[in-house]
Amino acid sequence: MIAQLAGTLLEKHPTQVVLDVHGVGYDVLVPTSTYEALPSVGASARLYTHLHVREDAMQLFGFATRAERSVFLELLSVTGVGPKLALAALSAMRPGEIRSHLMSGDVGFLVRIPGIGRKTAERLVVELRDRMTRLDLGSDAAAGGSPRGARADALAALEALGFGAAAAEKVLRAVEKKHPEETSVEALIRLALREQ
């Protein structure tokens, strides 16, 4: 398994980055919280990773913190939850928030994540409630980001998470109207996902 990568950041997009490790460019899928925590292109970066292998594909997922990776792996252990859904959850909430909602059985809040219906949310609560109490998330602080280009990046990330272009624009406008002080991509996306 590939547990972590450290190298030079070649490309940076809201849901995907390319990391050069000694001349090999790794295409890594990331949640928006990790995107926000990464430095600018050309700088050194470190990602905690998970290699997801299926019979038709191998995908590498990267996370800024071990807490994000731990929650991602717990979510993947639930039947019906794939990597795309687990990334959507981490893009919508911090690891500590996910744990809190699962431990409290807050199904109503979990269904706001794109792709999670009531049955999946209930399954998540039943299967993960006890495991989340034992999960050590360490420091769960999120890094802030640059406001420049935040709206365009948030729009692109919402579309990558399954929103249509018009729906993403509409929900983003609603978020900006209600929360004009929010300027980071992560905050805009999290609030947009909660609007649904």
What is the radius of gyration, based on Cα positions, of the chain? 16
168 residue type, one letter: A
Torsion sign over Cα 123, 126, 131, 134: positive
Strand 44-53 and strand 4-13: the pairing is antiparallel
Residues whose CB is less than 8 angstroms from the CB of residue 7 and which lie 6 or more positions away in sequence, other chains included = 19, 20, 21, 22, 26, 44, 45
Tens of pLDDT, residue by residue over 57-101, are 899 999 999 999 999 999 999 988 999 999 999 988 888 888 888
What local confidence, expressed as pLDDT, does residue 145 receive?
34
Query: How far is residue 3's CA from residue 100's CA, in Å, rounded to a whole number?
Result: 26
Amino acid identity for residue 58 in this structure: M
User: What is the number of other CB atoms lying within 10 angstroms of the CB of residue 31?
Assistant: 31
According to the model, what pLDDT value does residue 8 have?
97
Retrieve residue 115's tokens: 């792709």
What b-and-e string marks burial along 166-176, b requiring 16 or more CB atoms within 10 Å of the CB?
eebeebbeebb
Average pLDDT over residues 23-52: 95
What lies within 8 Å, CB to CB, of 39 at 6+ separation is 9, 45
DSSP code, position 152: H
Tokens of 79: 């039947």
What is the chain's mean pLDDT, rounded?
86
* Average pLDDT of span 25-37: 94
Contact 69, 103 (CB under 8 A): no
pLDDT range class, residue 47, cuts 50, 70, 90? very high
pLDDT of 195 strictly over 90? no
CA angle 73, 113, 177 (to 5 degrees): 135
Tell me which CATH code domain 4-63 carries: 2.40.50.140
Structure-token pair, residue 98: 């996910």
